[in-house]
Amino acid sequence: MQRKFLTNLGLMLMLNLLIKPVWIFAIDRNVQNVVGALDYGFYFEVLNFSFLFNIFLDLGITNFNNRNIAQNTQLLNKHFSAIVVLKFMLAMVYIFIAFTVALLMNYKADQMKLLAWLAFNQILTSFILYLRSNVSGLLMFKTDSILSVLDRLLMILFCSVLLWGHLTSSGFRIEWFVYAQTAAYGITALVASLIVIKKASFTKLNVNWPFFLMIIKRSLPFASLVLLMTLYNRLDPVMLGKLLPDKPIDPQNDISTAHVQVGIYANGFRLLDAANMIAYLFSVLLIPVFSRMIKRKESVEKMVKLSFTLLITIAVIVALGCIFYSDELMKLLYKEHFEKSAEVFKLLMGGFVAVSTTYIFGTLLTANGNLKQLNIISFIGLVINFSMNLILIPRLMAVGSAYASLVTQFFIAIVEVIIVQKIFRFKMNYRYLSTLLFFVIGVVLLNFISKAVDLRQLGIGPSGNSWLVNFFLMIVLSVGFAAGLKLLNLKSMLLILREDR
């Protein structure tokens, strides 16, 4: 099972590292620079609002289905024909709830129009994730890897034409960005549907009310968990939009306005979102693997250690590098509000280590069915996040939201690790923990040194943006340091890949 995990993780990482950085840096970043922080902040607030009610599109069916199909592949045909009908019904519920709440929150006409498109995109995304849960549940990881990047690849093509194709004389509009996403999600959903229909030997849709009630009942613990996680992860921009004024306090400076602060938060969030895409892939692969191992009563300790070591090593290098070079990265990527964006970025990237930890330990608890504990943790996390946002946003604006996110993520990660230790009774490996601590200290020192040394004085590196050379050198040395400590052990990975398992 470790061999299957590593080979497919390698393929999925390769595809995502080829496609998603292009999407983030060449497309998404350029869109924000073209339309400006104000318009992008307007989009980003409504986008995150549309995420808040995402759970009503799914009710935990996707997570339940991934685990269930991995353990009972013969149920695919029976479940697929009925769940598709149920998903259509839930889409109607989602639309009703999202628009009702938007009206209650006094959303304006332009916000409602944008919400209509973004809500439709959420429906398409939900269908894609459900379809992919069938593919990964069947352990068809190569196919799932291609599906995981298909929507982004299509969006790169569509947005490139809109940004640089000179199709119209007018400038790029944020609405075009949303329309490109709709087209890309639609095509991806169609491709994924054809793959699953073939595997399920699908013939017709099945309206089965007792089955619907059974699926919803069994999925509700997943549903409440996803709802709570969505809220504490997506609430920050929505609260910024509602707790800050629409008009600037100082007429000469619009930085205090809600949409600009949401735009600043989006600047800092973008690289975290990019990093999370990679970390999320671990959970996609691990939930069916953990589920099958637990059903077979196989020990998961080695798999947990392997996956956690790989992810936390990457997370520490990325997070610390981004914290130390936050000012330079924000100035490189954006045209305005660098300093505030850098403050937000530091705090959000600090939380990436905690988020990466939850992608391993939270996934293990999900696969083991410990949903009551996860729901309690997530509820407390939501209370912490909401309370801190309520207190800090009026004082610190986007930076206050970033502090709320950092504290919430570390609280959840620490508690999940404690619960996993209590349930699975893994042996406390003090040598391994000491190695991890030594590695973190080493990466911090490498960052300090790389910031202090000016390579141009040594005759090394280009005359402009020399920090980029220092930054990449720090990453290379940190990876080498991890290999020296055997956290990234190439020999062990090769041995696993050669196993006939």
State which of 167-181, 264-278, 409-423 shows the largest mean pLDDT.
Answer: 409-423
Are both 138 and 198 inside the same structural domain? yes
Backbone φ and ψ of 250, nearest 5°: -100, 115
Backbone φ and ψ of 253, nearest 5°: -145, 120
Are both 370 and 466 inside the same structural domain? no
Backbone φ and ψ of 462, nearest 5°: -75, 165
Alpha-carbon span 261 to 270, nearest angstrom? 14
Are both 403 and 436 inside the same structural domain? no
| pTM: predicted TM-score of the whole model, two decimal places | 0.76
Please tell me the total count of domains within the chain: 2
Buried b (16+ CB within 10 A) or exposed e, 19-39: bbebbbeebbbbbbebbbbeb
What is the pLDDT at residue 462? Answer: 56
Alpha-carbon span 266 to 180, nearest angstrom? 20
Are both 26 and 40 inside the same structural domain? yes
3-state secondary structure 333-374: HCCCCHHHHHHHHHHHHHHHHHHHHHHHHHHHHHHCCCHHHH
- 174 close to 192: Cβ distance less than 8 angstroms: no
- 115 close to 47: Cβ distance less than 8 angstroms: no
Give counts: helices (H), strands (E), the chain: 17, 0
What is the pLDDT at residue 501? Answer: 43
Q: Which of 391, 406, 427 is the last residue of a domain?
A: 427
Are both 365 and 420 inside the same structural domain? yes
Are both 75 and 163 inside the same structural domain? yes
At 166, is the secondary structure helix, strand, or coil? coil
What is the pLDDT at residue 19? Answer: 85
Per-residue model confidence as pLDDT tens digits over 240-278 = 988 888 765 555 555 667 888 988 998 888 888 888 877
Alpha-carbon span 408 to 386, nearest angstrom? 10
Q: Which of 377, 408, 427 is the last residue of a domain?
A: 427
Are both 367 and 493 inside the same structural domain? no
Averaged pLDDT of the chain:
84
Q: Which of 409, 427, 445 is the last residue of a domain?
A: 427
User: N- to C-terminal Cα distance for the chain?
Assistant: 7
- pLDDT band for position 176 (cuts 50, 70, 90): very high
- Whether the per-residue pLDDT at 10 is higher than 90: the answer is no
Are both 476 and 351 inside the same structural domain? no
Are both 396 and 437 inside the same structural domain? no
**Residue ranges making up the domain that contains 464:** 428-501
- pLDDT band for position 233 (cuts 50, 70, 90): confident
- 191 close to 147: Cβ distance less than 8 angstroms: yes
Are both 152 and 300 inside the same structural domain? yes
Are both 383 and 460 inside the same structural domain? no
Are both 375 and 474 inside the same structural domain? no
